[in-house]
């Protein structure tokens, strides 16, 4: 569902010209490095939270998730800071076209600011999966992504702009997605701890 949303976004960007499409594809490739820590901590959190639940110690999963969130935010924010400062040189590693570099750099700087919220979302989605709750993170993540894509498409149609408009839409949805996943995990653990205490 998320991949189809990004496919639609690419199709929308492609209609604005080859320079913008090239800038978007290159910026996505450059940012793939920032996703790796988040994915790694998410997978680790799923495993460790699942272990806590299996050991009938759901309360311990809170500490595990907090530690994973802290490290994911630190790593992804650090990478985001590097991208924010070195956006132009990073783009020049992929292309020397000045227009593509300009467009891609602007987009990279916006996405760099999203890294903390994405870190929180990734880890808490993984934590929820560790508790056995797989539907909620799917729905929230997919809805957040599709909402951002639709906002970006609307913005490009009615306001205009470039990759800052595209990624700027995620500035609205990403904090909401992160908050919803955090809230759900907290409620989920509270319920599991209460059930364990009752038994």
In a domain, residue 199? The reply is: no
Residue pLDDT, tens place only, 144-160: 999 999 998 888 878 77
Query: Which residue did the predictor score with more confidence, 133 or 21?
Result: 133
Number of domains composing the chain: 1
Please, what is the average pLDDT of the chain?
A: 89
Residue pLDDT, tens place only, 43-73: 999 999 999 999 999 999 999 999 999 999 9
In a domain, residue 14? The reply is: yes
> How many Å apart are CA 189 and CA 155, to the nearest integer?
39
Q: Match 């690419």 to its residue by tokens.
A: 10
> How many Å apart are CA 5 and CA 73, to the nearest integer?
25
In a domain, residue 175? The reply is: yes
Residue 170: give the domain boundaries.
2-194
> What b/e readout covers 158-174, taking b as 16+ CB neighbours within 10 angstroms?
eeeebbbbbbbbbbebb
**Of the segments 12-16, 55-59, 101-105, 177-181, which one has the largest average pLDDT value?**
177-181
Q: Which two tokens stand for residue 66?
A: 């907090």
């Amino acid at each position: 569902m998320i991949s189809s949303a990004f496919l639609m976004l690419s199709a929308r960007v492609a209609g604005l010209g080859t320079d913008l499409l090239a800038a978007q594809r290159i910026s996505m490739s450059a940012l793939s490095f920032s996703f790796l820590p988040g994915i790694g901590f998410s997978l680790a959190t799923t495993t460790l939270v699942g272990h806590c639940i299996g050991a009938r110690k759901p309360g311990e999963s809170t500490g595990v998730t907090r530690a994973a969130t802290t490290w994911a935010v630190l790593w992804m924010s650090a990478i985001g800071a590097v991208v924010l400062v070195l956006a132009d040189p990073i783009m020049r590693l992929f292309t020397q076209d000045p227009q593509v570099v300009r467009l891609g750099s602007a987009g990279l700087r916006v996405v760099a600011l999203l890294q903390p919220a994405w870190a929180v979302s990734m880890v808490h989605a993984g934590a929820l999966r560790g508790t056995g709750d797989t539907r909620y993170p799917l729905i929230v993540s997919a809805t957040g992504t599709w909402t951002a894509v639709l906002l970006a498409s609307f913005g490009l149609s009615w306001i205009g702009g470039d990759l800052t408009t595209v990624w700027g839409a995620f500035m609205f949805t990403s904090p909401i997605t992160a908050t919803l996943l955090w809230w759900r995990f907290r409620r989920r653990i509270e319920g599991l701890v209460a059930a364990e205490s009752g038994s």
